[in-house]
């Protein structure tokens, strides 16, 4: 079985307002799947539902196990991690304190975090700095490493390159290429160049539904992405 995550007929929203409607897709092990769409298409709502932050109907199966009834903490323990779009760091804590909070205290995940820091030297050099002194790009890197520190089988990333300097974006893309060999990734990304560099498969969302699916580079070459995204 090569499927890491399988989503069937997921519907979610906020209160009585439905945002995501009857979405189904799967993610293969060791792959990068990109969710594309204009603002308000439902991409972030979908990720929040998958990681247990929003109630939903439908089925979500992670590594062959149904997780739709689990709490967010248990979903994370089962192997699904989330790196949010918004700032998820604590201003008064150092980088090292964040990483200690994020990892489970066993030898394997400690070693994994050390390997991650090799990919992000900007964080390794700032272990003693408080998060409030980091740049926006460095805080995003910290969010990402924290999400990966629990040793997940899949990580959901929401706009990881938004608002970061080009040099940080390039560093993040290169690191993700390495990490995608070890963990599956679902990425919401507005930067089309980043999506093209990372993804093979993609889904375009519109008004809470998936309206197009396929190889990201092929959809780009055919002009379909430009038409749907108006870029």
Mean pLDDT of 102-128: 74
Residue 136 has pLDDT above 90, yes or no: no
Give the model confidence (pLDDT) of 24-79 as tens digits: 999 998 889 999 999 899 999 999 999 999 999 999 999 999 999 999 989 988 99
Percent of the chain having pLDDT more than 70?
A: 94
Mean pLDDT of 150-172: 85
Residue 210's Cβ-count burial label (10 Å; 0-12, 13-18, 19+) is buried
Percent of the chain having pLDDT more than 90?
A: 47
Of 160, 161, 136, residue with least CA distance to 148: 160
What is the domain extent for residue 106? 3-229
Q: Report the C-alpha gap between 197 and 193 in whole angstroms.
A: 6
**What order do you get walking across the sheet with 65-66 strand by strand?**
17-28, 3-14, 56-62, 65-66
The H-assigned helical ranges of 14-104 are: 43-50, 72-78, 95-102
CATH of the domain at 124: 3.40.50.300
Q: Which two tokens stand for residue 211?
A: 């309206």
**What order do you get walking across the sheet with 32-36 strand by strand?**
80-83, 154-158, 184-188, 32-36, 201-206, 209-215
- What pLDDT does residue 168 have? 77
Of 17, 16, 5, residue with least CA distance to 58: 5
Q: Report the C-alpha gap between 8 and 11 in whole angstroms.
A: 9
Mean pLDDT of 70-91: 87
Are residues 36 and 60 in contact, defined by beta-carbon separation less than 8 angstroms? no
Q: Report the C-alpha gap between 65 and 46 in whole angstroms.
A: 19
- What pLDDT does residue 8 have? 97
Q: Which residues contact 52 (CB under 8 A, 6 or more apart)?
A: 70, 71, 72, 73, 74, 75, 76
Report the chain's mean pLDDT, rounded to a whole number. 87
Number of domains in the chain: 1
- What pLDDT does residue 137 have? 79
């Amino acid at each position: 079985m090569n499927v890491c995550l399988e989503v069937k007929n997921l519907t979610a929203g906020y209160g009585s307002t439905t945002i995501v409607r009857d979405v189904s897709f799967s993610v293969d092990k060791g792959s990068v799947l990109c969710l594309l769409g204009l603002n308000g298409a439902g991409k972030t709502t979908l990720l929040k539902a998958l990681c247990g932050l929003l109630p939903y109907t439908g089925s979500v199966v992670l590594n062959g196990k149904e997780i739709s009834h689990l709490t967010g903490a248990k979903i994370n323990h089962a192997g699904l991690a989330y790196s949010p779009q918004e700032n998820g760091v604590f201003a008064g804590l150092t980088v090292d304190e964040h990483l200690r909070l994020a990892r489970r205290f066993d030898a394997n995940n400690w070693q994994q975090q050390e390997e991650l820091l090799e990919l992000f030297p900007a964080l390794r050099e700032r272990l003693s700095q408080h998060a409030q002194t980091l740049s926006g790009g460095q805080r995003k890197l910290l969010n990402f490493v924290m999400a990966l520190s629990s040793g997940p089988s899949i990580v959901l990333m929401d706009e990881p390159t938004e608002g970061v300097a080009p040099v940080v974006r390039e560093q993040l893309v290169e690191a993700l290429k390495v990490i995608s060999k070890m963990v599956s990734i679902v990425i919401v990304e507005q930067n089309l160049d980043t999506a093209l560099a990372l993804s093979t498969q993609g889904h375009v969302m519109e008004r809470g539904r998936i309206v197009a699916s396929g190889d990201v580079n092929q959809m780009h070459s055919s002009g379909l992405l430009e038409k749907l995204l108006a870029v």
